[in-house]
Amino acid sequence: MSVFTHPDFDHHEQVVFCHDKASGLRAIIAIHDTTLGPALGGCRMFPYASDDEALRDVLRLSRGMTLKSSLAGLKLGGGKAVVIGDPHTGKSQALLHAMGDFVDSLGGRYITAADSGTGEPEMQAFAQRTRHVIGATPRTTLDGTIASGDPSPSTALGVFVGLREAVRQRLGRDDLSGLKVAIQGVGHVGLGLARHLKDAGAELWVCDIFDANVQQAVEELGANAVRPHDIYGLDVDVFAPCAMGGILNAETLQSLRAPVIAGAANNQLASPEIGAELQRRNHLYAPDYAINAGGIIDVYYQRIGGSPAQTDAHVRGIAETLREIFERAASSGESTSVVADRLAQERLGGQQAVQKHPQRLQA
């Protein structure tokens, strides 16, 4: 299939296929839109079953980054990178350096950061080959401590404040004590969200494809472990998808019982029609690229040298954005996903969806 006729192409400005024979690197970098600024998005490493699966993921993720940055009010475009391989066994310094070289070859049109399967060590390796990387050096946090450049704590905080707003809208409660939450995926972001929820008094059910992640959540937070395929049907208040995308689909909707869906995973809807079906079934869905924008906000302020207080305030503003989405959806009867798309396009400038204006911007 041609990239240009791919159902998820959506007028991408640039798609780069990266291969380094010596290190075995196989990767794709997708730049969706640079209307507002250079394309910024994380570099994900995952053992995709096929090249087509990797291409679909990077195209959808990069488009989501355009909408996410627009909705968050950031002067950034949308991009993403995926490395095809096992993040636990497939990394080498040579492979990471080769990926850094490919990022550098784009001259700042794409800026990379940590994502699923990558973290500060990988960003440090990239930084040895390119300056177009964020999260490679430690920074001062709001409480004055020194932390890594990993933006996942900000993602987790944003999801937490967004989840709290969704609970307020759908369940009419501000107090999260006793709230029942099922978290699908307890990696860096999912575990961070679980910690916030535990501190707020919530009861937790968790699953993950990695047993060690589940064990940590059970031992540290007293979470209840469940099998991955059972997570959808739990009688809970909130379902928080914090793993891979496409998990809200015709099959899982048959089991889903939680009235609120609010989690960190990207591209949660398997298709746009699922958003309308969630609305019809009276589930309140917090659009993924609205609620999980904390990481890109964090990375943006790292890039411009902003203060921890600025970052924290902007991340907490995710609740206000979601409130506007929920209220517009309630007023119009449309799905929250449709409303979020429209709001992102409004903030982007209205006409960019049908008429692109590529521009070369320095990082």
Distance CA 352, CA 62 (A): 15
Reply yes or no on whether 75 is catalytic: no
> Which residues lie below 8 Å from residue 107, measured CB to CB, with a gap of 6+?
360
Answer whether 148's CB lies under 8 Å from 158's CB: no
Residue 235 neighbours by CB distance under 10 Å: 9
- 3 state SS for 290-336: HHCCHHHHHHHHHHHCCCHHHHHHHHHCHHHHHHHHHHHHHHHCCCH
> Which residues lie below 8 Å from residue 199, measured CB to CB, with a gap of 6+?
none
- For 200-218, the DSSP string reads TT-EEEEE-SSHHHHHHHH
Q: Which amino acid is at 115?
A: D
What is the radius of gyration, based on Cα positions, of the chain? 19
Which listed residue (80, 180, 198, 356) is catalytic?
Answer: 80
Nearest CA to 200 among 238, 244, 226?
Answer: 238
Number of H helices, E strands in the chain: 13, 13
Assigned token pair, 319: 């609740």
Torsion over CA: 359, 9, 20, 300 (sign): positive
Assigned token pair, 35: 């209307």
Residues identified as active-site? 80
